[in-house]
Amino acid sequence: MALLSVQHLKKYYATQRAVDDISFDIAPGSIFGLLGPNGAGKSTLLRMITGIFYADSGNILFNGEPFDSGRHIGEIGYMPEERGLYKKMKIGEQAVYLAQLRGLSKSEAEFRSKQWFKRLDMTTWWNKKVEDLSKGMSQKLQFVTTVIHNPKLLILDEPFSGLDPVNANVLKDEIFRLAQEGTTIIFSTHRMEQVEEICDQIILVNQGKKILDGSVKQVKQDFKENLFSLTLSNPDAPLPADIQVLKQEQNKLMFHLNENVPANQVLLHYINQGNNILAFEEILPSLNDIFIRLVQGTPAAREFVA
């Protein structure tokens, strides 16, 4: 059974359809990518899932039950895209306070805060104020306040923005660790390269509508264009039928294979020539390519491509 099931969710504003009939299911323990250009409706969708906004219509099921913010809010951790902390408040107090609002008792909140601070190398910051922290440091604090109550569902909106590679990796490791421990994670971003390595399942949203849904592998298969790369000892040998060479870099050929022609036929052609095959690989489109192709031409696509 899906941990979170979103069914025909709609939210219309006066001027636009922010979320227009979106449905998807998220399996427990999976990392789910919610992708789309800026302004596609991702944040509105997340705000409905976290109970901040009410949907105009449609259902949200949490663990099979209709979502009730009073009951389920303690099971959800949400890190919005725009990070927010009390600037003048001490870091330790802040972590404890936000954990208490999530429903932890004071002693439990303190205990877990200290545990997390230790894990992320933040113990010396406890009595500092947020305004004295660098952006990366406050990002870490933000992450701690999001996961401190051991949520079943963790929602991260652009979690890596503003982080340097070292800290981004620390965070990524934590996300993987939580996923292995059974936390379901929704990962919202417009940075596709991050998604490819992290997510099991993705959906792509554009202008309020879902335009793609599936596993990363499946999506890539669905959008492959029969492109291959082949490295040969003699690249200038006669070509087989059914291929169009797109590019040649020294010994490496990139070509398009006509549909319904098995790749082995091409390999056999060269083997029979006595031409040594040094490398052979199917070129799958990157998610970035797929998404650009899908949202190209729509008004929101411009900033997405850039």
Partner 1 sequence: MKTLIIIKREYLTRVRKRSFIILTLLIPVLLVGMVALVAGISLSSGDQKKIAVLDESKTFDQKLESSKKISFTFEHTPLETLKQSLAKEQYDAVLYIPPFNKNEKAKFNLFSEKQLGMEAQKDIENQLNDIVMQDRMQEAGVDKDKLRFLQDETISVQPNVEGKATSNEAAFGIGYACGLLLYMFMLFYGMSVMRSVMEEKTNRIAEIIVSSVKPYQLMLGKIIGVALVGLTQFLIWIALIVIAMTVLAGSMGAGFASNPEVMNQAAAQANTGNDVAAGISAMLHSVNWLQISLWFLFYFLGGYFLYASLFAAVGSLVNEDPQESNQLTMPITLPIILGFVIMSSAIKDPNSGLALFGSLFPLTSPIVMMARIPFGVPGWQLALSAVLLVGGFLGTTWMAGKIYRTGILMYGKKITFKEVGKWLMKK
Residues in the site for partner 1, rule: CB under 8 A?
47, 50-53, 69, 73, 76, 78-80, 82-89, 97-98, 100-103, 145
Angle of helix 135-147 versus helix 106-119 axis, rounded to 10: 130
Q: Cβ 285 to partner 1, closest distance in Å?
A: 35
Q: Cβ 51 to partner 1, closest distance in Å?
A: 7
Q: Cβ 293 to partner 1, closest distance in Å?
A: 30
Is residue 242 a contact partner of residue 257, using CB atoms and an 8 Å limit?
yes
Phi-psi region of 169 (alpha: psi -120 to 50; beta: other; left: phi over 0): alpha
Q: Please say which residue, 79 or 290, places its beta carbon nearer to partner 1.
A: 79
Q: Please say which residue, 43 or 275, places its beta carbon nearer to partner 1.
A: 43
Q: Please say which residue, 107 or 250, places its beta carbon nearer to partner 1.
A: 107
Q: Please say which residue, 143 or 160, places its beta carbon nearer to partner 1.
A: 143
Q: Cβ 265 to partner 1, closest distance in Å?
A: 56
Token readout for 92 is 């330790």
Q: Cβ 36 to partner 1, closest distance in Å?
A: 19
Quote the DSSP letter at residue 130: G
Comparing C-alpha atoms, which of 143, 115, 125 is closest to residue 89? 125
- Measure the CA–CA gap between 217 and 281, rounded to whole angstroms: 16
- Measure the CA–CA gap between 299 and 303, rounded to whole angstroms: 9
Q: Please say which residue, 45 or 79, places its beta carbon nearer to partner 1.
A: 79
- Measure the CA–CA gap between 86 and 278, rounded to whole angstroms: 59
